[in-house]
Structure 1
Amino acid sequence: MSASFKTIALFSRPQTDGLDGRILDEIDAWLSQRGIQVITQTSRSVRLIQAAGHRADLALVVGGDGTMLGVARTLAPLHVPVVGINRGRLGFITDIPLTDWQSALTAILDGQYAIEERTLIEAQAWRGERQLFNARALNDVVISRSSRAGMIEIEVSVDGLYMYSPRADGLIVATPTGSTAYALSVGGPLMHPSLRGFVLAPVAPQSLSNRPILLPDSCTVELTIHHGRHARLNCDMQTFSELEEGDRVTLRRSRDASRFLHPPGYSYYATLRSKLNWHEIPGLEPRRG
């Protein structure tokens, strides 16, 4: 075993579609046979995830991207690396197919892996001088209209400079990790995870000239609700706050970053080809890497 990983926290959600509890037991037993202490945690409680993270050298997530997001975001301040075994639908950030978990973990425990830092966004919502909300996002921060209301109007400022006030169904601020999620579906660009920037993308804007824009992640973005009752703020679609007219949201890069651990052979470009169904050239053998 690797001296680096003496204790591994095993995270999952029992309600994940297709996740058989026997798989978790098998992984637990396999790790234990190699002299590794295993901490199993199936709760979504932030407190319990943090408690497991404080004791672990590595976090192993079995599930989908949603589970991976929650664990990686929570453990970021603890600097615990996270690796995912995909048992969800898409699996953009859970690298290891369920069928390959033994070979991948064997290599990782032998020290064959790469660690990559992923940017987080720090979001704070304010009503006057009162803070309503404070949370982090690994994928994106979204302000959206209520299902009971029409478009919302949001004033956007960057480092204190006014940018514009789009009328739209919502506004997305995404990290490079989140550029392959909701922001992609509204026409945002793909960003390599190593890039230092944010995607600001309107959702169904009234003006077709309101296009996504890339911003440096060294800036502070302020979003003020000018028109639109019952707007909603969410981080990674997992933490929420209701907003009223006049409320403002400040966004900046978090001081903490999530640490993703990748198994041997990992390639971001291979992930894009696989998950986005990019086709190879007809008649040629598929390329590796």
Structure 2
Amino acid sequence: MEFKKVCIVTRYSSMLARDIANIVADLIIDKGSDVYTIAPLSLNSSHVLSNEDMLKEEKMDLVIAIGGDGTALRAVRWIDGLAPVFSIRIKGSRGVLADINTDTIHEAIDMIYANKFYVDERMRIHAISNEESQPALNEIMISKASTLVTPTYNIELDDYSIKEKMDGLIISTPIGSSGYSYSLGGPIMHEQLNALIITPIASINRFPILIVPELDIKIKVNEESMIFADGQYNLKVDSNEIIRIKRHPRNAKFLRIRKRGLTHLAKLGY
């Protein structure tokens, strides 16, 4: 696999991430690759793209995310499964998406350019409402737009209909199972499973957490609501507007230089 075009994405407003990015850029340029960044980030001899949409137009071979899980999630969203993401965790960051920390950057870059890696694909989902799609790697959260009422959620699962009053709903992927869903009592799932976790938020009748196969889920809320994708992007939805949650047609791709175990448990300190 050749890496002619490599884009570097860093944590916002982090001088440490920027300093690490300059080191990575020099290493990559020495390997003969062109380095790209997205404005306002500019690195040593990098080609600066005006916005993230140009990543797809330029047909990147690799995206390197330097920061924490939030940075990696942005990179995954921007490249949209068209190239793998290699995530480097900086000091002070936690998460499950990074492959290495900053202590092993030189070794990692050498391994990548020696083709000593594998591409690890992970399921994504997306929420579709009024012909607008919000993709997510970790989870989709639907919550009430107003604090004055408790909405009624109508959920259709494989021709089975559920009606419940609650503040919100989280639909999580296995890789996102240690995030918001876990904080509400959800289980930890192995990353390689093709399943979804449906976690209620403040259910009036203590609606249970469900683990279901990856299937199309249809949701309708009787009040105005908000859709949040990976906690970073949101979309307002009118009352009784149908929200469909389904598997995204393109998986997220991660470049890995070592096999991963139960990284969720490591993140949680076990």
Cα deviations across residues 68-89 of structure 1 (Å, max 9, x unaligned)?
A: 11211232342x0111011362
| 5+ residue gaps, structure 1 | 279-289
Match of 2:19 in 1: 22
Could you tell me the TM-score, scaled by structure 1's length? 0.83
Match of 2:115 in 1: 111
- 1:62-211 superposed matches below 5 A: 62-78=66-82, 80-87=83-90, 89-126=93-130, 131=131, 133-146=132-145, 148-162=147-161, 164-208=162-206, 210-211=207-208
Q: Secondary structure at the match of 2:51?
A: helix
Q: Say if 1:156 and 1:170 are closer, same or farther in 2 by CA, change over 3 A.
A: same
Q: Over residues 225-283 of structure 1, what are the superposed CA-to-partner deviations in whole Å (9 max), with x where a residue is unaligned?
A: 03x4x42111112221223321220111111111111122x3232x23431111xxxxx
Counterpart CA distance in 1 for 2:253 and 2:186 is: 24
State the distance in 1 between where 2:55 and 2:240 align: 40
In the TM superposition, residue 40 of structure 1 has moved relative to its aligned partner by: 2.1
Percent identity of the aligned residues? Answer: 25
Q: CA deviation at 1:49?
A: 2.6
Paired with 1:43 and 1:156, the residues of 2 have a C-alpha distance of: 42
Give the alignment's TM-score, normalised by structure 2.
0.88
Mapped to 2, the partners of 1:99 and 1:14 lie a distance apart of 21
For the Cα contact (< 8 Å) 2:10–2:17, is it kept in 1? Answer: no
Q: Deviations over 1:23-73 (max 9, x none)?
A: 2211111211122221122569x9833423433211111112112112112
Asked if the contact 1:122/1:135 (under 8 Å) is kept, the reply is yes
Match of 2:45 in 1: none
CA pair 65-43 structure 1, distance change in 2 beyond 3 A: farther
Structure-2 separation of matches of 1:42 and 1:196:
36
Q: Report the 3-state secondary structure (helix = DSSP H, G, I; strand = E; otherwise coil) of the residue aligned with 2:212.
A: strand
Structure 1 residue 200 displacement after superposition: 0.7
The DSSP-based 3-state class of the residue aligned with 1:177 is coil
Q: Residue 27 of structure 2 contacts residue 109 of structure 2 at CA under 8 Å; is this kept in 1?
A: no
Q: How many residues align?
A: 261
- Residue-by-residue CA offset, 1:159-217 (whole Å, 9 max, x unaligned): 3431x122222100111111121111111121222111111110122223x12111111
Which residues of 2 match residues 24-43 of structure 1 at below 5 A?
A: 24-42=21-39
RMSD: 2.2
Aligned residue in 1 for 2:218: 222
Q: Which amino acid aligns with 1:236?
A: D
